[in-house]
């Protein structure tokens, strides 16, 4: 890392006097991809940086310059847009749009996709390859990690860093390095032979199998074993791995996985076939269990209890039975619809105490009212009223002082003072959702079980950072800045290898939920 730091590949470095690097997004044999800020146009971008003195394989300034020129010609909605590129000393850089979404690899980590969604994504990738093949560019590394689904649902094909112009010289072909990922590599690519547009079609066939079934067509203990299967083994049929797949899709994928490149359809043929494929609606999907390290956010629903009017006896007719039918528990009826969401524990306790207090108040009032009636302070309903006499005119008489007649004296009744009932205030739906999202991050951290001391220390660091950040996020104190700072800490520890990939992906998904609510 020291060499990379001195050569300008570090946070805070300024590339070409314009692009300020922020934090590392990804790295590979062809360089590193950084999140950066274009200080001239004041926008966030993704910058791919290659140290020409340290890069492996036949990477030269001339080859990188051709890559810049080639990718700049790729103007397609399903291809990441290139803004700028060039060299800065021993560094070559490529500036691209910064995407907000999740990679297809992260989506497949949860399980296979619905067939209709897999066909849609595959069709977008096929149209992108059709556009690149028309200008003589072969991607050579179509795989889930190089396909992103944005927050709006659009598909973007990434990393044309190992794309090769089909018209390169024979000398360059002689020094060809075998690139790509074994599980999605064409047979000719695995054998180190020249590759063309048909190689991308084969890789897309492997990608379709992975999206529909949750696994590529060939798996093995290592890359060498998988590459050998790509060369010699017959791929399984799609309908064998997932029964019920439409027969036209099964036949199309089988043709795309032909060992002979000449027997495969073109990317344009694949795009048209997928666009015209009729996929019947599937039954309700049963999602596979979430893998270890995947954050599952609990549903948060703020439901206010219905107001109930308690009428005194005789004050009016009984409520219609329709109201109780509306409030019945649908969970007791097997065909009555979906079960209502489970309320939070604090909500159930609060409602329970409010109902108990209201019931107690009704009982006290009933006892007092009954006692007053027994004592004669309140006339009984239906009792005959004492008739009043019509006064007549009489001469005034002396008024004698009245002496209370001896008899039973009723004691005065002191009504009890009822306590004030404090109804717990309910948080708003937005606050409850934000708390649920923050709790989702805590769930991911709880499921992280580090084995070595360095990972244990990393988890402690992340725990402390999240405790401080989440407290300020829930309080609304610079929430966006606190969230960005915590995300940078997670990225830094992941780059050092202290956070495993599964936990890192789960944290990224959970933090994305918090970011949306903030």
Residues 264 and 118 both lie in one domain: yes
Question: Mapped to the 3 state alphabet, what secondary structure does 1-16 carry?
Answer: CHHHHHCCCCCCCEEC
Return the CATH number at 34.
3.30.200.20
177: CB partners within 8 A, 6+ apart:
56, 57, 58
User: Looking at the DSSP assignment, which residues form a beta bridge with residue 201?
Assistant: none
Last residue of a domain, one of 97, 114, 141: 97
Average pLDDT over residues 144-165: 80
Q: What are 47-88's pLDDT values in tens digits?
A: 988 888 765 555 566 767 776 776 777 888 999 888 998 888
495 within a domain of the structure (yes/no): yes
**Crossing angle for the helix pair 501-517 and 429-447, to the nearest 10 degrees:** 170
Q: Give burial (CB, 10 Å; 0-12/13-18/19+) of 176.
A: middle
- Pairwise CA distance, residues 51 & 28, whole Å: 12
| pLDDT-above-70 percentage for the chain | 63
Number of neighbouring beta carbons within 10 Å of residue 462: 22
Minimum mean pLDDT range among 127-141, 197-211, 324-338, 486-500: 324-338
Report pLDDT for 168.
44
**Does position 173 have pLDDT exceeding 80, yes or no?**
no
Residue 103 to residues 70, 107, 274, 306, 509: CA-CA distances in angstroms? 24, 7, 21, 44, 11
Say how far apart CA 426 and CA 321 lie, in whole Å. Answer: 29
Angle between helices 453-475 and 429-447 (to 10 degrees): 170
Question: Do 110 and 26 sit in the same domain of this protein?
Answer: no
d(C-alpha 116, C-alpha 135), whole Å: 30
pLDDT of residue 172: 44
pLDDT category, 319, cuts 50, 70, 90? very low
Please indicate, yes or no, whether residues 158 and 16 belong to a single structural domain of this protein.
Answer: no
Residue 489: Cβ within 10 Å count? 18
For residue 220, tell me if it sits in a domain: yes
The predicted pLDDT at position 55 comes to 55
For residues 142 and 237, state if they share a domain.
Answer: yes
Query: What was the pLDDT predicted at 310?
Result: 42
Average pLDDT over residues 93-115: 92
> Annotated catalytic residue: which of 51, 88, 141, 269?
141
Query: Hey, is 477 helix, strand or coil?
Result: coil
Question: Are residues 255 and 179 part of one domain?
Answer: yes
Element spanning 170, H or E: helix 170-174
Q: Are residues 41 and 142 in the same domain?
A: no
- The closest of 447, 453, 435 to 505, measured between CA atoms, is 447
- The answer to whether the CB of 229 falls within 8 A of the CB of 216 is no
Handedness of CA 275, 281, 283, 286 (dihedral sign): positive
What kind and span of H or E run contains 283? Answer: none
Please determine, for residue 207, whether its predicted confidence score (pLDDT) is greater than 50.
Answer: yes
The torsion angles phi and psi of 15, rounded to 5 degrees, stand at -100, 130
Please report the pLDDT score of residue 493 as a whole number. 86
- The sign of the CA dihedral 33, 38, 42, 43 is negative
The answer to whether position 417 is within a domain reads: no
Here the tokens at position 15 are 């590339």
Active-site residue, 100 included: no
Q: How confident is the model at residue 352 (pLDDT cuts 50, 70, 90)?
A: low
pLDDT at residue 479 greater than cutoff 80: yes
- Which CATH number belongs to the domain containing residue 153 in this structure? 1.10.510.10
pLDDT band for 474, please (50, 70, 90 cuts).
confident
pLDDT above 70 (res 111): yes
Task: Write down the pLDDT at residue 443.
Answer: 84
Residue range 454-466, pLDDT digits in tens: 888 888 898 889 8
For the beta carbon of residue 509, count every other beta carbon within 10 angstroms: 20
Of residues 463, 429, 470, 252, the one with CA closest to residue 347: 429
> For residue 259, is it within any domain?
yes
Tell me which residue has tokens 């893998």: 291
SS3 of 327, please? coil
Pairwise CA distance, residues 16 & 47, whole Å? 11
The answer to whether residue 130 is domain-embedded is yes
Q: Which of 55, 72, 97 corresponds to the end of one domain? A: 97
Is the model more confident about 478 or about 295?
478
Q: Listing from the earlier edge strand, what are the strands of the sheet with 147-150?
A: 101-103, 147-150, 155-157
Averaged pLDDT, 300-312: 41
Mean pLDDT of all residues belonging to the chain: 74
- List phi, psi (to 5°) of 33: -115, 125
- Whether 171 and 251 share a structural domain: yes
Q: Looking at the structure, tell me whether residues 135 and 42 fall in a common domain.
A: no
Residue 142 domain flag: yes
Amino acid 292: pLDDT: 43
Answer for the pair 445, 463: CB distance below 8 angstroms, yes or no: yes
Position 435 scores a pLDDT of 82
Instruction: Quote the pTM value.
Output: 0.52
Q: Which domain holds residue 468?
A: 429-517
Rounded distance between C-alpha atoms, residue 50 and residue 181, angstroms: 20
State how many domains the chain has.
3
Which position has the token pair 């109780």? Answer: 324
Single residue among 41, 62, 97 that ends a domain in this structure? 97
Q: Which DSSP letter does residue 199 get?
A: H
DSSP state of 352: H
Please report the pLDDT score of residue 366 as a whole number: 60
Residue at 364 is within a domain: no
308 band by pLDDT with thresholds 50, 70 and 90: very low
pLDDT tens digits, one per residue of 432-452: 777 887 888 888 888 888 878
- 153 and 266 belong to one structural domain: yes
Angle of CA points 483, 487, 488, to nearest 5°: 120
Rounded to whole angstroms, how far apart are CA atoms 40 and 26?
24
pLDDT digits (tens, 9 = 90+) for 229-287: 999 999 999 999 999 999 999 999 999 999 999 999 999 999 999 999 988 876 544 44
Of 513, 354, 329, give the one whose Cα is nearest residue 421.
354
In a domain, 187, yes or no: yes
Q: Are residues 139 and 192 in the same domain?
A: yes
Q: Is the pLDDT of residue 373 over 90?
A: no
Mean pLDDT in residue range 204-209 = 98
pLDDT band of residue 327 (cuts 50, 70, 90) is very low
**Pair 53, 173 in one domain:** no
**What are the pLDDT digits (tens) for 14-30?**
999 999 999 998 776 56
Residue 483 and residue 442 in one domain? yes
Contacts of residues 369-377 at CB distance under 8 Å and 24 or more positions apart, as own/partner, are 371/413, 372/413, 375/410, 375/413, 377/413
């Amino acid at each position: 890392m020291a060499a990379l730091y001195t050569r300008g590949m570090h946070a805070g470095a300024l590339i070409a006097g314009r692009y300020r690097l922020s934090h590392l997004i990804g790295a590979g044999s062809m360089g590193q991809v950084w999140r950066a800020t274009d200080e001239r146009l004041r926008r966030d971008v993704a910058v791919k940086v290659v140290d020409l003195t340290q890069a492996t394989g036949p990477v030269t300034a001339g080859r990188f310059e051709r890559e810049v020129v080639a990718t700049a010609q790729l103007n397609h909605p399903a291809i990441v847009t290139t803004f700028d590129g060039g060299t800065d000393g021993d560094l070559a850089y490529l500036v691209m749009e910064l995407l907000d979404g999740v990679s297809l690899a992260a989506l497949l980590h949860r399980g296979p996709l619905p067939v209709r969604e897999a066909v849609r994504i595959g069709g977008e990738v096929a149209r992108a390859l059709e556009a690149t093949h028309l200008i003589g560019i072969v991607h050579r590394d179509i795989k889930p990690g190089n396909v992103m689904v944005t927050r709006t649902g659009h598909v973007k094909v990434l990393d044309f860093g190992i794309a090769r112009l089909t018209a390169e010289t024979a000398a360059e072909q002689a020094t060809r390095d075998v690139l790509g990922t074994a599980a999605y590599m064409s047979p000719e690519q695995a054998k180190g032979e020249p590759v063309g547009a048909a190689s991308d079609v084969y890789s897309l066939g492997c990608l379709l199998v992975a999206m529909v079934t949750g696994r590529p067509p060939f798996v093995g203990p290592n890359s060498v074993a998988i590459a050998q299967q790509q060369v010699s083994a017959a791929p399984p049929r799609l309908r064998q791995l997932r029964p019920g797949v439409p027969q036209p899709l099964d036949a199309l994928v089988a043709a795309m996985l032909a060992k002979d490149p000449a027997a495969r359809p073109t990317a344009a043929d694949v795009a048209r076939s997928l666009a015209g494929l009729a996929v019947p609606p599937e039954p309700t999907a049963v999602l596979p269990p979430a893998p270890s390290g995947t954050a599952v956010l609990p549903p948060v629903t703020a439901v206010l209890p219905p107001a109930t009017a308690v009428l005194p006896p005789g004050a009016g007719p009984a409520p219609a039975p329709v109201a109780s039918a509306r409030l019945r528990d649908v969970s007791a009826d097997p065909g009555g619809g979906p079960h209502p969401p489970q309320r939070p524990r604090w909500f159930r306790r609060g409602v329970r105490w409010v109902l108990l207090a209201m019931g107690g108040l009704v009982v006290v009032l009933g006892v007092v009212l009954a006692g007053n009636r027994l004592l004669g302070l309140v006339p009984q309903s239906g009792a005959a009223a004492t008739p009043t006499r019509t006064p007549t005119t009489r001469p005034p008489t002396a008024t004698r002082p009245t002496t209370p007649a001896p008899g039973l004296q009723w004691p005065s009744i002191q009504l009890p003072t009822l306590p004030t009932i404090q109804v717990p205030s309910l948080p708003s739906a937005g606050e409850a959702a934000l708390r649920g999202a923050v709790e989702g991050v805590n769930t991911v951290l709880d499921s992280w079980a580090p084995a070595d001391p360095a990972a244990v220390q990393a988890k402690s660091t992340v725990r402390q950072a999240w405790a401080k950040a989440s407290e300020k996020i829930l309080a609304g104190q610079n929430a966006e800045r606190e969230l960005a700072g915590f995300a940078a800490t997670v990225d830094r520890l992941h780059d050092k290898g202290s956070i495993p990939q599964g936990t890192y992906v789960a944290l990224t998904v959970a933090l994305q939920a918090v970011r949306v609510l903030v």
